[in-house]
Structure 1
Amino acid sequence: MERMKKEHSEEKAEPKKSKVHIKADDLDVEFMTLDLSSIASTMSFVEAFKAKGLPLHVLVCNAGIVYGGEAQTADGFEIHFQVNYLSHFLLTLHLLPVLKASGGNAKVVLVSSMAYRQVGWHEDNIQSNNKDQMTRYGSTKLYQIMEMFTLAEKLEGTGIGVFSLHPGFVDSDIFKKENQQISGPTKFVVGMLASIKLSRNTFDGALTTIHAAVDPQYDGKTALYFENTKPTRLKSSVATNKDKQEFLWKYSLDCLKDYVTEDTLKELTSQ
């Protein structure tokens, strides 16, 4: 946050060097604790946010891990499954009342990945236990897209749009040297892609998310998947399969049965 404010101040002083122009003199940003590997932390965040009485126009579910290892969370879930998908699912359900109360054209944006194309469907192992790390990661990204379709259908008529997207290959902190989970060959490939300009910097990597979140041409629309800032056709029959979408939805609710009440689910249909 300090870096953001410093950069914003510098850009205001020299607007010609800025890629974007923000009208505000100061950035109004606030930190709140949220650990998606913990259901207790996720629920605490929900209550803390609701207590502030703030509106919520856009919810971007962007947090995720690729190299979490073969680990279970304290809640008993495979760590990629919980961090990348399940806790976002829980968070979204509990924030629906705030999204609805904040006016029309609210958005839920689920940041997925083209890694969804590389995985299959295994109803007997939804959490991808004992699978390689890219299968675990890709499966959670597939689930985000499947969630988009089901959530969009259930929220029809509520004024909330639900989108998903692939941001591109972004040279972000997840690939830095300090991350000991990343293999040497992976670091080499990441560095090579960056050197020949095939990876995106974090500014460009955010553009597709921003288009999905605030571009007015998508107001009133829902269930769109974006790549390169534009809606794109999905390349997976699993992602668009309604029976599999419904299976995943019910499986997710069963995982969260102690945290999702009937009153919570009523928000999916009530205006």
Structure 2
Amino acid sequence: MSEHNNLSDAVVVVTGANSGLGFEVTRALAEQGAHIVMACRSIGRGEEAKQEIETGIPEASLTVHELDLADLDSVAAFAEWFKSDYDELNVLCNNAGVMAIPRKETEQGFEYQFGVNYLGHFALTSYLLPVMEQTAGETRVITQSSVAHRNGEINFNDLQGEESYSPWDAYGQSKLADLMFAYELDRRLRKTNADIKSIGCHPGWAATNLQRRGPEQSGSRLRLWMMTLANAVIAQSAERGALPMIYAATDSDINGGDYVGPDGFRNMRGSPEVQGSSERSYDVDTAQRLWDVSEDLVGVSFGSPLLVAN
């Protein structure tokens, strides 16, 4: 790895910070001296994670605050709280997510994976971007995608999976949407003078609770057994899986529009590197359409006129 940015005293928001990849990202960045806002659906689990990190890093600077990405009112409330307590934001880690679960809907009626993995983060970024614009020095938006984005397709005719639903297709669509958003945000930022980089990343296959939830919610013991076995045989640790997001947040040579993932077999494990993504992910017309549709769906606008597509 090349030289790292100094995150001492930087303000960082990590969604889903209480477990898995988010926990490891939080711990690593806290160790580098950043102040982390742990944005968690469960305050209780967030406080437990905070205490665990503080046990190993007594000087860690951590704040837990509620954020339920499945409820846009919660997203708006989190952003309002953040803007009242903080006047700067150096790094936003759009990390939280769910994977391959049976179909259900968010509070606003969106298909849950599309709503949590993508639309919630889209709205959160729109609310927090003005704070990043006024923050001194370079700031970064890091959005977590997945190797599953390669199987994803943005189905504008059935975005919410109401006519036909496959847990894995919906997951792939949500993760493709995340990556297209990261790229489109960067394209728009490049047209401005804002010192903000938008970067995509993915963890490869990392052993977290993410793999268990789909089989548990669908009641499939076979799928649960297969996922447990795959985690044991194929996956790297959550600590290793967090490295691409940490790299994207800290490496001084990272460019906006980069995509970071493990460098090993099928990009499933290994050390973080900048790599390519699927052909679909670079489709500018689809990305711009997705952006417009997303603004309509969540009822937010990236208020800065700088980010209006030309």
Same fold (TM over 0.5): yes
Aligned pairs for 1:1-271 (under 5 A) are: 1-3=47-49, 5-6=51-52, 9-10=55-56, 25-129=58-162, 130-156=164-190, 157-176=193-212, 179-181=216-218, 183-196=220-233, 198-218=234-254, 221-228=255-262, 229-234=272-277, 236-257=278-299, 259-260=300-301, 264-266=303-305, 268=307
Q: Compute the RMSD of aligned alpha carbons.
A: 2.1
> Which aligned runs of 4 or more in structure 1 are off by greater than 3 angstroms?
1-10, 175-182
Distance 1:182 1:152 in 2: 40
Using the TM superposition, give the Cα deviation of residue 117 of structure 1 relative to its aligned residue in structure 2, in angstroms: 0.8
Contact 2:72 2:108 in 1 (8 A): yes
3-state secondary structure, aligned to 2:64: coil
Q: 1:119 to 1:45 in 2, by over 3 A?
A: same
What secondary structure, in the 3-state scheme, does the structure 1 residue paired with 2:217 have? coil
| Distance change >3 Å, CA 76–CA 101, structure 1 → 2 | same
The structure with the larger Rg is 1
Q: What SS does the corresponding residue of 1:42 show, helix, strand or coil?
A: helix
The answer to whether the 8 A contact 2:144-2:202 is kept is: yes
TM superposition shift of 1:118: 1.1
* CA displacement 1:119-172 (0-9 Å, x = unmatched): 234221233333210011110000011111211111113111111111111111
1:17 aligned residue: none
> How far is 1:2 from its partner?
4.0
Larger strand percent: 2
State the partner residue of 1:16.
none
User: Contact 2:101–2:218 at 8 Å: present in 1 too?
Assistant: yes
Q: 1:70 to 1:195 in 2, by over 3 A?
A: closer
Give identity over the alignment, percent.
27
Give distance in 2, aligned partners of 1:3 and 1:121.
Answer: 35
Residue of structure 2 equivalent to 1:20: none
Residue identity opposite 2:227 in structure 1: V
Q: Distance in 1 between matches of 2:219 and 2:119?
A: 24
Residue 31 of structure 1 and its aligned partner are, at CA, apart by 0.7
Separation of aligned partners in 1, 2:219 and 2:274: 32
Shift of 1:195: 2.8
- How many residue pairs match? The answer is 249
Q: AA paired with 1:230?
A: E
1:67 deviates by 4.1
The answer to whether the 8 A contact 1:121-1:238 is kept is: no
In structure 1, stretches of 5+ residues that fail to align are: 13-24
